[in-house]
Amino acid sequence: MPQPHGFRYETHTSGTVVITHHNRPAGTLRGPRAARFLAEVDAGDPQLVMARWTGNYRRGNERSAREHPRNRR
């Protein structure tokens, strides 16, 4: 499975965290969610953490979903 890349985050003085993916906004976190996100980024792989928090990661079923009868045309 390819590793996610292209994520960045900025922490603002108000405590808000803005996550971007290839310079496009992917998510904004405030309050306790921002603090929990920053703790996870410090503890793990930042790219994987940001991909999970924004929901922008592959699930491994794209090929099988493409072949499903409902998705054929």
pLDDT, tens only, 37-68: 999 999 988 998 998 898 866 555 556 666 77
State the Cα–Cα distance between residues 24 and 32, nearest whole angstrom. 23
State the Cα–Cα distance between residues 23 and 28, nearest whole angstrom. 14
The per-residue pLDDT of the chain, averaged, comes to 84
Q: How far is CA 36 from CA 15, 33, 72, in A?
A: 12, 5, 41
pTM over 0.85: no
